[in-house]
Amino acid sequence: MIDEHAYIKLSDYLSALRNSLDAQEADEVMHDIEIRMVEIFKETLSKREVINDSDVEKVIAQIGTPEQIDEQEEAYYSEGKQNKSKFSTSYSSYSSNAQKQLFRDPERQKIAGVCAGLAAYFGMDITWMRLIWVGAFLFLWIAPGSSFLVVILYFILWAVLPKAESASDFLKMKGKPLNFDNLKEESSKIVQFANETTTRAGEIYNENRPKVNSAGDSLLKVLKYCLAVLLALTAAGCFIGLFAMMFAYGSDKFGMNDNLGFYLEENNLGYLLLGIAALPVVIIGIGALLLSIKLFSPKTKFNYVGPALGTLGIIWIILIGILAASASRLNFRYTGNNEDYENVSITAPNDTIYLDSKKIQIPENFKPYVNNIYSDKTKIFKRDYPSVEITRKDDIKTPYLIIKKEADGYNQPMKMKVPVDVVGNRIFLPNYYEIPYEYRFRDYRLDYELVVPSTMKVINEKEYEISTRGDDDDDNDNDGIDDNHRNHSGISVEENKIKINGTTIEYNSDDNDSVKINGKKYSKDSADVVLERMKIDQQVKKSFKDMNINIKDGKKEIHIKTN
Amino acid sequence: MNTENTKAQMRKGILEFCILSLIQQREMYVSDLIESLKKGKLDVVEGTLYPLLTRLKNGEFLAYRWEESTSGPPRKYYQITEKGSLFLAELQTTWQELTDSVNQITKNSHSQN
């Protein structure tokens, strides 16, 4: 049994003693000393139960204070302790940052004691330090979200800086020399923090004693601080970059095509991708930050740095692994492709067929994804821009519509629903088709072919929505374009107008949302699909291996690319 | 001229020499050592001895064994090794030479005065 005050005294004594020892020998020597102490206590106590102050003082007198031991070692030892400078402790009464150590100060903490610790380190008033943090937080509010960085920085420091717990920690934090008198003074202040004193492994005492700086050191010092500033800037850059990355991700500017976008969102792999991009930046940022702190203040020790950075690295590798595995699984899931043709005959009494579009109502519980995909995890609605190839045949009387469905996976059932309605002589083509959720990566394709008797007239009622191919009697411009085609056999570019092998693409700067293809208007979104269906790509490929056309008009631009 | 420093320089190495000599006579425990040193007017605290003993032990000049104690924890009894004996012999020679020459010189200087 030991009374509380005696305990604090003893544990501070032990930690001071440990601090005064060489690190390599500390454990062994402390073990010897502790055993000896037990013996001394046993001798003095005999019948008493509780160790009191005077017992502890007696032990200290017998074994000696760190200062005494130090003096005697100086006096008698033939070989000095390693790196030990031969100056008495009184020398260290004035302190510089190099002797200080960054801690969190639990005594004066508001949140975690980071500000208090920094204030003690820089020797400034705690209020000013807090004002700097709050000021930085408020100031960065101008750039949306940058304040977040301040908070992140605070949390990193919180995690990384050790909490000052023992009397010796407090002395190091304040840059006071670690001698027994100071320890005693400090420990009387922190009775409530003293419990773990003995468990803290001692640092080499001489670390806290001043060293004489030789003149040659100063240049090295300048270089060191330059490097530290550079590292600090690197860290800041990393965190700003990180923020930009998150911002870019949040604003949906990660350009991706249909499948990838859907796939990423669907599996939360978007976050995975973000993680893969962001983690190295985090690691480098933290590394640079800590290195620069370490350079500014070599005595600072950090908690959990190795394990934390290691864990981040491992997480990064795992993320890459997950992404690679899931991507390759996706890639090899389907082989070949499956086709399914569905014929719908149109028993129209009239000699005209109208093409109309049908607006599919998507239930509210379907969640929208990028590129006009809706899903409720069992079914998927995918946007379609119907394109109809019109074929004229003399030997038929009843016109019919062929719905050509195509998807990856030769051995998989088609399971694609295209709700085409025929009312009289009017064909309603849906603007969305439906596929099962489990087949979401099969890359469904849809095309229509309308086979009509040669005399029948086909009128596209929704030119904006539906495109037609192969029927040349409903457009007068076609002849001209054919001429063009023959004459130039390639591409001509005029203002806001491109002609490619017989197809004209026009762009009107007054109307930003649509382009004209062969004189018909299409929405900007559907233009790609229309062009693709027109097989322009293939035609162009024959004449040009690589083409890239941009029409720019202020902010809007049209981009045509084949390769 | 720092007189303290000069004195300290003169004392250097003495403690090792004394401890090795004491332990060569018989196996010893720290409190025995302290007692003997005190008798010889060499006043050191126990805390000074532990690092030194550990260093000598690590340098294989000393070995130790644990001995059960009737009152309290087991004690470390130190004994000298062969290497320690050789080292001690060297130290003794050096010490002898040193004291001889110092004595002679100081005596001469006294007589001259």
CB of A36 within 8 Å of a chain B CB? The answer is: yes
Identify which of A536, A560, A534, A535 has the alpha carbon closest to the alpha carbon of residue A547. Answer: A560
Q: Measured in whole angstroms, how far is the alpha carbon of residue A474 from the centre of its chain? A: 54
Residue A273: its pLDDT value, please?
77
| Average pLDDT for A369-392 | 84
Is residue A70 within 8 A of residue A20, CB to CB? The reply is: yes
Give B-chain residues touching A61 at CB under 8 angstroms: 45
- Write the DSSP assignment of A370-403 as a string of letters: TTTEEE-SSEEEEE---EEEEEEETT-SS-EEEE
Enclosing H/E stretch for A559: strand A556-562
Q: How is residue A362 annotated by DSSP?
A: P
- Write the DSSP assignment of A60-79 as a string of letters: HHHH--HHHHHHHHHHH-SS
Residue A158: pLDDT band (50, 70, 90) is confident
Q: Is the pLDDT of residue A446 over 60?
A: yes
Q: Which of B32, B37, B49, B68 to mutate to test the interface with A (most CBs of A within 10 A)?
A: B49
Among A151-165, A261-275, B81-95, the range scoring the smallest mean pLDDT is A261-275
Report ipTM for this prediction: 0.79
Mean pLDDT of chain A: 73
Q: How far is CA B98 from CA A160, A519, B1, B90, in A?
A: 56, 115, 23, 12
C-alpha span between B76 and A29 (Å, rounded):
12
Residue A186: its pLDDT value, please?
65
Residue A185: pLDDT band (50, 70, 90) is low
Please, what's the b/e burial string for A531-559 (b: 16 or more CB within 10 A of its CB; e: otherwise)?
A: bebbebbebbeeeeeeeeeebeeeeeebe
Enclosing H/E stretch for A551: strand A547-553
pTM: 0.37
The first and second tokens of residue A431, run together, are: 């603007």
Q: Measured in whole angstroms, how far is the alpha carbon of residue A522 from the centre of its chain? A: 38
Question: Roughly what angle, to the nearest 10 degrees, separates helices B14-25 and B82-112?
Answer: 130
Q: Which of A76, A84, A85 to mutate to test the interface with B (most CBs of B within 10 A)?
A: A76
Q: Is the pLDDT of residue A450 over 70?
A: yes
Q: Determine whether the interchain pair A36/B14 forms a contact, defined as Cβ–Cβ distance below 8 Å.
A: no
C-alpha span between A25 and A549 (Å, rounded):
76
Q: Determine whether the interchain pair A39/B76 forms a contact, defined as Cβ–Cβ distance below 8 Å.
A: no
Is residue A337 within 8 A of residue A410, CB to CB? The reply is: yes
pLDDT in tens, A502-517: 677 777 666 666 777 7
pLDDT in tens, B7-38: 777 777 788 888 899 998 888 888 888 888 88
Identify which of A191, A155, A149, A139 has the alpha carbon closest to the alpha carbon of residue A170. Answer: A191
CB of A75 within 8 Å of a chain B CB? The answer is: yes
Residue A295: pLDDT band (50, 70, 90) is confident
C-alpha span between A172 and A156 (Å, rounded):
21
Q: Where are any strands of DSSP class E within A66-207? A: none
Give B-chain residues touching A68 at CB under 8 angstroms: 45, 47-48
